[in-house]
Amino acid sequence: MSKRIQISDDSGATWSTFPGDKGDMTRTASDIKDTIFGADYESGQTGIISWNVSCNGVFKGFAGYVTKILKSGTPTTFTASAFSLVSGKTYKITDATKNIWDRTTAVTVYDNAVAVASNNILSIDYLFGRVTFTSGYTPTGPITASGKYLPMTAVAGANGFTLTQTANAVDQTDYATAQANGGFRAYQIGLRTVKLALKGFYDAANGFEALLLARPELIVEIDVDGGGKNIARGWFKPLSVGQSGGVGELEDASIDFSLSVPSQADISLPFKWLIDSTSTLSTALQKALTHYQTGNAIEINYLADGTTGWRGDAIITDLSLTGGLDVMNNFDIKFQGSDAPVAYP
């Protein structure tokens, strides 16, 4: 059978295979020096071991050219806009063109034309135009809201991007842990970092230079399949712009963004993926994206022959996505193993 790299979020009850074509697993021990007086050669002792798995994941079914890259414009007022039930106590604004909200403007939510008290609202999702009521509140409907939304426009001339999603691996190994697991390091997920690099043909209408000078906060969206079923959005600020080209050629342009995390307490995720229930994105990649956002534990299964291999707990330290006109959108995933891997099955 062919090689497989799999992921599980239910303690190994269900495994989902990444749609990739390359992967590796490494084990590396620290080199503890124990050279003593009188020695002519340096001596080392095998120390605590770390292990890692890496692979890729292709977003099958969509050529890269369908991807849409959008940036936010001037806040625009919406009044008493209708909402639809998502599930449970969560509602979303029905008009999808108004589902990105200006976080600096208060959003007033109405239930049957009566403003809902703030203590009955569990959270407001400014990135995707959603509101969730507390468990103790029962909406009667219809649900409406007023506020300001951010109209989105395509980044002119764009023809490629790299979305870098990384996380620090925090070493939590102590004597008891290392002695119990055979001398392996244990980790938990730490601070996450998101950066976005866009490239394309230079277009003065983008106003990249003015953006850098003004240092604004803006929302950037990547609609991976172009149909609104796999969307990443976040608050970003520009870091650098560049342009280059030869005589008689079109000028190339680039702009790099760094995530800008708002200080508002009710904004739990400054960057977020929203995967529609009808998305064709592989289950393995969906689980990986969820794990990266929440930081929950995950299990990885490395099967060199498709059947036997190694499994263990891990955290995702890199989940970067690259795309372009003539390539498939492709994720590169890196796992930092925690504790000792075990033979599988």
Residues 166 and 247 in one domain: yes
Residue 232's closest CA among 243, 223, 240? 223
- Mark whether 203 and 83 lie in a shared domain: no
Q: Please provide the average confidence, as pLDDT, over all residues in the chain.
A: 92
* Whether residues 146 and 247 fall in one domain: no
Q: Are 244 and 313 contained in the same domain?
A: yes
pTM to 2 decimal places = 0.90
Residue 271 β-bridge partners:
234
58 lies in the same domain as 141: no
Closest CA to 53 of 313, 323, 344, 322: 313
In which domain, by residue range, is 113 found?
74-150
Which residues, 6 or more positions from 204, have their beta carbon under 8 angstroms from its beta carbon?
none
What residue type is 199 in one-letter code?
A: K
Average pLDDT over residues 302-312: 95
User: Are 96 and 237 in a shared domain?
Assistant: no
Q: What is the mean pLDDT of residues 162-167?
A: 96
Element (H, E) at 285: helix 283-294
Same-domain pairing of 184 and 207? yes
> Is residue 136 pLDDT above 80, yes or no?
yes
**Do 135 and 188 reside in the same domain of the chain?**
no
> Are 54 and 100 part of one and the same domain?
no
Q: Among 35-44, 59-68, 90-99, 101-110, which stretch is predicted with the lowest mean pLDDT?
A: 59-68
Tokens of 188: 């938990």
Tell me which H or E stretch contains 211: helix 208-214
For residues 109 and 160, membership in a common domain is answered with no
| pLDDT, tens digit, 9 for 90 and up, residues 10-65 | 999 999 999 999 999 999 999 999 999 999 999 999 999 999 999 999 998 888 88
Nearest to 18 by CA among 338, 211, 300: 300
Say if residue 208's pLDDT is above 90. Answer: no
